[in-house]
Structure 1
């Protein structure tokens, strides 16, 4: 199978980032990467352009890392409140997913994030406080406190009788 070298203009998942020089199958380059504007062929002229692309990428990554660090600092003091439907016993129906967390971040704090930045090993299925990891950048991650509350008022537990019945005298 013939291979060819190309320079990526945009990030391509599973292949590389902007300004990376990669060796790919000729058909993949000709039929997908080049027509979609994701890459340019590696030529002498484009090789000179590669240095300019690398500088733009470096500057953008530095700016994104700085923005992510500032955002991470603001998350330290936030508590995200999420209402969930529960039964009479307090058991949740369904679960809280990354999409729910992103939606509530946008509603409550006007913070827009991609749902892939929320790292949940498994969906939240219990009422209470939970720490959720957010990967804001390849170098920056932080924890967000998520408080899951019941949308139905839970019945109050009846206080146990503190005084036992006094024997009749």
Structure 2
């Protein structure tokens, strides 16, 4: 088992700044190469406070604000225009960043792309849903429509 410090939020493992233990291969082959974690050291403990401070700056300020934003997101449908060929097949795929940008363009608020989780690979036009973690206790489902540009 390897003791690591998460630098970004990893679903099912923890949030940025958390110290967790994972299997050596998972850390060495997945978390470290993608920049999701760093090895835990006594000197690395000093990084935890700066990581947590950066995470706090990105998070929605309070639970009430997160609940209000969640209500706005669940009650609206966002449109994402993409390049598509005949029969609605996309040239590429829709990413979490595209959903976050579309939410902001629709005037619903600012959403961190790292907090958006797509349930599937989106390769055709249509209506889909994504989950957004706004706060520790608040998740919102965003409905979005992929349309040809």
TM-score, normalised on structure 2?
0.61
> Aligned Cα RMSD in Å?
2.8
Looking at structure 1, the residues matched to 71 and 141 of structure 2 have their Cα atoms a distance apart, in angstroms, of 10
Other-structure match for 2:49 = 38
| Structure of larger gyration radius | 1
Residues 12 and 38 in structure 1, CA contact (< 8 A), matched pair in contact too: no
Counterparts of 1:104-143 in structure 2 under 5 Å? Answer: 104-109=102-107, 111-143=109-141
User: What secondary structure, in the 3-state scheme, does the structure 2 residue paired with 1:122 have?
Assistant: coil
| Among 65, 71, 74, the residue aligned to 1:73 | 71
Counterparts of 1:3-22 in structure 2 under 5 Å? Answer: 13-15=17-19
Provide Cα deviations, 1:58-92, integer angstroms capped at 9, x if missing partner: xxx9x622211111111122111001111122211
TM-aligned CA distance change 1:32 to 1:94, over 3 Å: same
Greater share of residues in strand: 2
TM-aligned CA distance change 1:13 to 1:122, over 3 Å: farther
Residues 119 and 129 in structure 2, CA contact (< 8 A), matched pair in contact too: no
Provide Cα deviations, 1:133-157, integer angstroms capped at 9, x if missing partner: 1111121111111011011xxxxxx
User: What secondary structure, in the 3-state scheme, does the structure 2 residue paired with 1:89 have?
Assistant: helix
